[in-house]
Structure 1
Amino acid sequence: MIFPGKGGEMMVTAIILLRVERTKVNDVAEKLADTEGVSEVYSVSGRYDLIVIVRVASNDDLADLVTEKMNPIKEITDSETMLAFKAFSPHDLEAMFSVGM
């Protein structure tokens, strides 16, 4: 899905689910959080360890992020990438998650 970015430009949004070596979750999360194109990183319970929200300008940029930035992180043991088609929430998620910070 292409969503407006902060400056009004359209962005591709992807949700990436990651399984990570048990003792390296925080290290991987911090590394990904500092990666250009990564909007948010969440540690979660369940089958996956991290959820990564990516917002980039194009599908090519998404492919580069996954293959050039994420693939070399050896502590990532499995991943599933989903493209967002349509946003149904009227909320500004960035504003919601920055409350009190």
Structure 2
Amino acid sequence: MINAIVLIDADAHRIPEAAQAVADIAGVDKVYSCAGDVDLIALVRVRDHEQIAEVVTRGINKVEGVSKTVTHIAFQSYSSADVEAAFSIGN
């Protein structure tokens, strides 16, 4: 499974509708509205890189109210549980 984080700039008056429309796209796992440099963050989970292009360019970028996206592909996932498990082997 390939994970991507898509940072989304949206028109201020369309954020709730844009967020729901993005969430309804196949391959989008979650959408967060947030404060900071971007308006929305979408987590995309797909089987291959071609699907990321489909979801972002033919899906998210076509949503009314979305003005810009920046996509980051995740290589590896880390969590506190993973780190604790690695250090507790053999204890």
- Interval containing the TM-score (normalised by the shorter chain): 0.7 to 0.9
1:67 CA displacement = 1.3
Question: Higher RCO, 1 or 2 (CA under 8 Å, sep at least 6)?
Answer: 2
Q: Map Cα deviations across residues 24-72 of structure 1 (whole Å, 9 max, x no partner).
A: 0000110111111000000000010000000001000111111111222
Structure 1 distance, partners of 2:29, 2:80, is 18
Give the corresponding residue for 1:57: 47
Contact preservation (8 Å) 2:61, 2:69 = no
- Deviating beyond 4 angstroms after TM superposition, the runs of 4 or more aligned structure 1 residues are none
> Which runs of structure 2 are paired with 1:20-31 in the superposition (5 Å)?
20-31=10-21
What is aligned with 2:26? Answer: 36
> Structure 2 regions of 5+ residues with no counterpart?
82-91
**2-structure distance, mates of 1:36, 1:74:** 17
Other-structure match for 1:4: none
Task: Tell me the TM-score normalized by structure 1.
Answer: 0.75
SS of alignment partner, residue 77 of structure 2:
coil
How many residues are aligned here?
A: 81
User: Percent identity among equivalent residues?
Assistant: 33
- Write out aligned runs for 1:1-101 (5 A): 11-89=1-79
Give unmatched runs, 5+ long, in structure 1: 1-10, 92-101
